[in-house]
Chain A
Amino acid sequence: MKKIKITINGMHCASCASNVEKSLKKVPGVKNANVSLMLKKGTAECEDSVSEDEIKKAVVRTGYKISNIEKE
């Protein structure tokens, strides 16, 4: 298990954050995802096999951009 932290650009409403969260949770291997509209940040708890690229794609798919991604 690992945690991937992301900073998301372009979210401006609660349903935006909820969309990103949903999309992240759909990525195979992601156990849990939390996105904060207030901080424009999110975390995804996922299996080690999940790549940063997959996480990125999940965010972009919903129409937002990732400005920073880091593993913890």
Chain B
Amino acid sequence: MNHEHGKHDEPAEDEEIKIWKKKLIFSWLFTIPIAIFMFSGRLFGIEILPESWMVPILLVLGFPVLFIFGWDTIKSGMRGLFTFYFNMDSLIALGTIVAYLTGFLSFTGIVDDYSGVSAMIMAFFTTGKYVEAVARGRASQEIKKLLELGAKKARILKNNQEIEIDISEVKVNDILIIKPGEKIPTDGIIVKGESSVDESMVTGESIPRDKIKGDNVIGATINQDGILYVKATKIGKDTFLAHIIKLVEETQSEKIPIQKLADKITSIFVPIILVVALLTFFAWLIFSNDLSRSISIGIAVLVIACPCALGLATPTALMVGSGMGAKRGILIKKGEAIQTMKEIKIIVLDKTGTITKGKPEVAEVYPKEKEKNLFEIAASLEKNSEHPIAKAIVLYAESIGLKKYKEVKNFKILRGRGIEGKIRGKSIVIGNRTLMNERKISLKKFEETIKNFENFGYTTMVISENKIILGAIAVADALKEDSVEAIKKLKEAGLRPIMITGDNEATAKAIGEKVGIYEILANVLPEEKANKVKELQEQEKKMVAFVGDGINDAPALKQSNVGIALGTGTDIAIESGDLVLAKGSLNGVVQAINLSKATFKKIKQNLFWAFAYNTIAIPLAIAGVLHPVVAEIAMALSSITVVANANLLRRKKID
């Protein structure tokens, strides 16, 4: 598409794969003849070459394999040996060079020739590295996609002209023009036009969201059907996407507790193996008095040891796991959370905005037959208020087709109780029970209805005209579509859900009943939520997770053992959670828990294999039962196995 950009962002991984591939092809080009010469004589008794030519030819063929195609490895390994920053290459370099030198020594007759073996070790090592690089590339494919998600160009409106500029030149407050099918270049707010926007890449939500003037849009999401004019509000490092990327990268370079032992071993592994190989060599030399055999066994010990399997076990699995999450709008912010997750027994869920939509909606109207008349009056008054309940009433009025409102005089807001005003001289009072009592308006005829509404957990607004009640509107914070199902799944997963809310007992219980949560902490002020979590942790002596929107419950998210913050699109408090869900559904919480558990299981599996491999393979090599080439193959396979196993995590169903 555009060349300036394609190049500088070339993923390092692909570059690495290319290099290893080249080395691999050339190594085998020289190693295959070596193998034929070596084995034809040994296995089939066919002599292609006269005995005396054999060693010189092997040395000549082996030279480029080691010192041209394997030069990077030899160089890095040798430098490691001299600077005491030993690495994997140090083992391979030492093993192959010693083997190669036996070729020269064999002319003196004191030792057999292993020069052919040196090339084979290097060729297999290169092959292993190539396959590993490919597998590692696969492990990070989702994350890579995320990194490449951002738009490269933007079209802005300047002096009433559309001009196309590079994304880096976009400034805050620029007006961007986005045509159907195009990527929204950066975060912004719609100033003109309407459309639906596919936000699946950042939120995991597959259904496009309708957007109108005044709505926020996220950079890198895709405009579907209308032309949008968007004022850029955030650019570069400040965008939502940039935040997500930063987060994923931080998680990746963070250490999980379970990994610490493996890391410790990795860091002292190579020097230990060097010593062990040396000891093995001398021990065999003393007891068998067979120099050739002792050298061969020493080499086998050097090349069989695999610190890579240990070092890759955790990061690869974590990479695949966080990639799977990112695709679904689940961000693992703190790697440690996936380890803690399996210990979680109690999950405390905030009510407003987590279990419910956090926005009141009209739930019931009484009497239903007179709905239109009722709302004509109610909405005319409520239009003047900014209260969420007022907004819900106006929204409902519009949804049943009311367009014209009546003129209201003497409008007044009665804080915490309701509103009042005059329509055509008639005095209208809308409000709760307290307000009606205050104004001495009799609720008699409606008493039963109002009680009923209250029992359901509804907030009830009574509408009166000249002190006579016309009807009542029940407003409630509706459940999110998938809350019931998600709570059921949480219970199936063995978690104890507890709802926490500032609502009174009755309202809270009613909602709990609906969603299937029977343990409720009601009347909890926002600032007390963290204390409640602490109490639970102390009293129950169990690990507690907290799910909230992260806006007013950040302390509770911090206090809990695993804090799960959920939000919608950009309205998300990334900083406050250990796990962050970009799509505000509770099912995301279930997915996040499943994903954490599956990822952690994979990490444990990988670490087990890596440890098991080394604890079995190294003693076998010491015992002298493995040929150096077989040892090298085993080593290559072990690190490939670990990376491939991490990739298998993708097969796990987490939805």
Contact = CB atoms under 8 A, between A and B. Distances in A.
Interface stretch (B85-93, B280-288, B353-361): B85-93
A18 B266 contact: yes
B312 interface: yes
A51 interface: no
Contacts of B616: none
Interface stretch (B252-260, B294-302, B473-481, B527-535): B252-260
B308 A14 contact: yes
Given A34-B255, A38-B140, A62-B83, A15 B315 contact: no
B139 A38 contact: yes
Given A13-B307, A15-B86, A61-B83, A36 B253 contact: yes
Given A37-B311, A38-B139, A39-B249, A63 B266 contact: no
Nearest to A3: B250
B252 A19 contact: no
A15 B311 contact: yes
B459 interface: no
Contacts of B308: 13-15
A14 B88 contact: yes
Contacts of B267: 15, 18-19, 21-22
A15 B307 contact: yes
A39 B253 contact: yes
A39 B76 contact: no
A66 interface: no
Interface string B107-133: 000000000000000000000010001
B74 interface: no
Given A15-B269, A18-B263, A34 B312 contact: no
A19 B249 contact: no
B87 A16 contact: yes
A37 B85 contact: no
Main secondary structure of the interface of A (DSSP, over half): mixed
Interface residues of A, number: 26
B502 interface: no
Contacts of B80: 19, 63
B12 A9 contact: yes
Interface residues of B, number: 35
B87 A19 contact: yes
Interface in A31-49: 34-43
B392 to A, nearest CB: 43
Nearest to A15: B87
B319 interface: yes
Given A13-B308, A14-B307, A36 B87 contact: no
A56 B167 CA distance: 30
A30 interface: no
B603 to A, nearest CB: 13
Given A14-B311, A15-B270, A19-B85, A38 B316 contact: yes
A66 B56 CA distance: 41
A2 to B, nearest CB: 15
Contacts of A15: 86-88, 266-267, 269-270, 307-308, 311
Interface in B296-338: 307-308, 310-312, 315-316, 319
Contacts of A23: 85
A17 B85 CA distance: 11
B79 A38 contact: no
A12 interface: yes
Q: Which of B136, B253, B270 has the most CB of A within 10 A?
A: B253
A37 B97 CA distance: 27
Nearest to A43: B253
B215 interface: no
Contacts of B319: 38
Contacts of A21: 267
Contact of A63 (B76, B139, B252, B255): B76
15 contacts: A13-B89, A13-B307, A14-B308, A14-B311, A15-B269, A16-B87, A18-B263, A18-B267, A19-B80, A19-B87, A22-B267, A38-B136, A39-B140, A41-B249, A63-B83
Q: Which 4 A-B pairs have the closest CB atoms?
A: A14-B311, A36-B253, A13-B88, A15-B87
Given A36-B253, A43-B250, 12 more contacts: A12-B16, A13-B308, A14-B88, A14-B307, A14-B312, A15-B270, A18-B267, A18-B311, A37-B315, A42-B253, A43-B253, A63-B80
Interface of B: 12, 16, 76, 79-80, 83, 85-89, 129, 133, 136, 139-140, 249-250, 252-255, 263, 266-267, 269-270, 307-308, 310-312, 315-316, 319
Interface of A: 9-10, 12-19, 21-23, 34-43, 61-63
